Amino acid sequence: MELWIKAQPRARRAALLGVAPAADGPRLRLAVTEAPEDGRANRAICALLAGVLGIAPSRISVTAGATAREKTLRIAGNPATLEAALRAISP
């Protein structure tokens, strides 16, 4: 499953911030405390989302936008189960 997100690095606290509209579709907004250096923010985003979904961080990877705020994540697993989990956590 692919998920579009908008990242906010160097936030005061890590959190899900809701959904942000975009021209090509909505994006899940995620804030992390890590700086966007050496992939630290990307790893923190994967860990945050994995914790919320109850899966291993290794099942999430950044497939596009590694150095941008808008990213595409690939989540390995059953799409129906992941979609249900995402709908349950959407603020």
pLDDT, tens digit, 9 for 90 and up, residues 20-57: 898 888 999 999 999 999 999 999 999 999 998 889 99
The model's pTM: 0.89
What is the phi/psi pair of residue 35, to 5°? -80, 150
Number of neighbouring beta carbons within 10 Å of residue 19: 14
The 8-class DSSP code of residue 9 comes to T
HSE-up (13 A, CA, CB side) for residue 66: 8
Q: Write the CATH number of the domain with boundaries 2-89.
A: 3.30.1200.10
23-32 burial string, b = 16+ CB within 10 Å, else e? eeeebbbbbb
Q: Which residue has the higher pLDDT, 81 or 45?
A: 45
Residue listed under structure tokens 């590694």? 66
pLDDT given for residue 90 in this prediction: 61
Q: Which residue has the higher pLDDT, 38 or 85?
A: 38
**Token pair of 60 as six digits:** 């999430």
